[in-house]
Structure 1
Amino acid sequence: MSIISRNNVSVRGDGRRAMVFAHGFGCDQNMWRHVAPAFEQDYKIILFDHVGCGNSDLKAYDYVKYSSLSGYAADVVEIGHALDITGGVFVGHSVSAMIGILASIEAPDLFSELALICPSPRYINGEGYEGGFTREQIEELLKFLDDNHMGWSAAMGPVIMGNPDRPELSEELVNSFCRTDPDIAKAFARVTFLSDNRSDLQRCQARALVVQCKQDVIAHEGIGEYVRDHLPKAELVVIDATGHCPNLSAPA
């Protein structure tokens, strides 16, 4: 199967330079519908679904390949090569921020600039590092997901989204989580929340814009500062937004 079909790749826009949008855990390319159109006049917009998500080919999911974020990064590189991308822009939300960094390290010619939306290189606290969660909290979260995928989705969607005064946003995220194959969701969650990409940051030579929300229980503002400080060429912008999904809650 072609990479285009496997990852449900769609291409639109009038520009020559590519801008690739990559969604976060439990989501799909539809999460960019309020953001991507603003760039269609100036860029060639490329949207896709990670294998196991959205309308990707579920039969292509490989538990060995996708047991680390490098498997997802390899797909981004393959998409880039299939579409002859050079010097493009990669926009990655949440876990896809780290996937984009790994892809840019593997194939430096693909992207000259990265926009990293609510990134976190490590969710678990360590010596001299505040990831936001203890290992016990992450293991608890993963056990809850293992035991009750639907219950986890209903409970975590509003927490991740924030914005309790706009319940329709949480509902969309919960529905997206619930549409994901439970076994794949459990595997992707484990990879996402147990990964440690801190040492990869300094290897990324692309210019990076780190976009952090003022209030985000998944990736607090200090993590944005950490990412900025450990990438060779980065700046940080903190936007006046709440929650972990500003592409839905604060697209403007």
Structure 2
Amino acid sequence: MDIRSRNNVTVIGRVDAPVVVLSHGFGCDQNMWRLVAPALAERFRVVLFDHVGAGGSDLSAWSPERHATLAGYADDVLDVLRDLGLGPVTFVGHSVSSMIGVLAAARAPELFAQLVLLTPSPCYIDDDSYRGGFSATDIEELLASLDSNYLGWSQAMAPVIMGNPERPELGAELTNSFCRTDPVIAGSFARATFLSDHRADLAGVTVPTLVLQCSRDAIAPLEVGAFVHAEVPGSTLVTLDATGHCPQLSAPEATAEVIIEFTESGR
């Protein structure tokens, strides 16, 4: 299979520069990076792609077995990096892609120079002293709602995820992105995302890591970012003065600035 077509790979920016890979979150595609990618491309070679089942990816490549867990998506990431022959790279993973990046870096650390975990969550469900932001019942209801009425779920959840109610165009964009995703694939990816628990994988990260969170995020609260920072050896924690779960759209300049500074500091 042609990996570049499978994942709708796009490469922009400087040919002779370090490589930054941008990996989108659930219900999104590479278009979600459009406000930060140009700034990064002025300094780096930037790779964008769509996870299988999203955006312009090859939907026929989606497998209910391979893509039932985040490990399958991590394997896809490694396929892309090896096919391009670029690396070691700075991998920027948004939301669930943060954990996809953690898993991929554990399998092939030689391909990764740095990780940027943007609004990460290793586990969405509260567990004893750990606060993931949701109860098990919350997640069960979320998935049941998604299964019964995906379009209605998208219209209700996207504005919550995006935050910034004073900027309704942002919530509308995320809603439209959700609605372009095949409901069956979306349901499978939602389960792989919201039922996963990758807290134990954080301690195995061996590359310099930036944990980049928002000061107000309904999906990944501050306690989650603090937990990730504490568990990833030697990581750096930066909290943006931003609202919502998608700062690459709500605060693109600040997001790009921090990514650039971190990437250049390690090169």
TM-score category (smaller protein) = over 0.9
Q: How many residues align?
A: 252
Letter in 2 for 1:59: S
Which range is displaced more, 35-44 or 212-221? 35-44
Shift of 1:31: 0.2
Aligned 1:66-85 pairs, distance under 5 A: 66-85=67-86
Aligned 1:236-251 pairs, distance under 5 A: 236-251=237-252
Cα-to-partner distance string for 1:124-169 (whole Å, 9 max, x where unaligned): 0112211111101000000000000000000001100000000000
Alignment correspondent of 1:64: 65
Cα-to-partner distance string for 1:46-89 (whole Å, 9 max, x where unaligned): 00000000000000000000111000000111111111122210
Alignment correspondent of 2:166: 165
What CA distance in whole angstroms lies between the structure 1 residues aligned with 2:127 and 2:42?
A: 44
What CA distance in whole angstroms lies between the structure 2 residues aligned with 1:245 and 1:48?
A: 17
What CA distance in whole angstroms lies between the structure 2 residues aligned with 1:63 and 1:187?
A: 8
What CA distance in whole angstroms lies between the structure 1 residues aligned with 2:47 and 2:106?
A: 20
What CA distance in whole angstroms lies between the structure 2 residues aligned with 1:86 and 1:48?
A: 16
What CA distance in whole angstroms lies between the structure 1 residues aligned with 2:41 and 2:213?
A: 24
SS at match of 1:26: coil
1:5 aligns to 2:5 (yes or no): yes
Instruction: Give the structure-1-normalised TM-score.
Output: 0.99
SS at match of 2:113: strand
Letter in 2 for 1:64: E
Which range is displaced more, 8-17 or 59-68? 8-17
Shift of 1:224: 0.4
SS at match of 1:205: coil
Q: Extract unaligned runs of 5+ from structure 1.
A: none
Cα-to-partner distance string for 1:155-188 (whole Å, 9 max, x where unaligned): 0011000000000000000000000001000110
Alignment correspondent of 1:180: 181
Aligned 1:1-252 pairs, distance under 5 A: 1-14=1-14, 15-252=16-253
SS at match of 1:223: helix
What CA distance in whole angstroms lies between the structure 1 residues aligned with 2:150 and 2:218?
A: 21
Letter in 2 for 1:127: D
Two-structure CA RMSD over aligned residues (Å)? 0.7
Instruction: Give the structure-2-normalised TM-score.
Output: 0.93
What CA distance in whole angstroms lies between the structure 2 residues aligned with 1:133 and 1:22?
A: 24
Letter in 2 for 1:152: W
Matched-pair identity in %: 56
Letter in 2 for 1:57: D
Letter in 2 for 1:73: A
Cα-to-partner distance string for 1:13-66 (whole Å, 9 max, x where unaligned): 114321100000000000000001111122111000000000000000000001
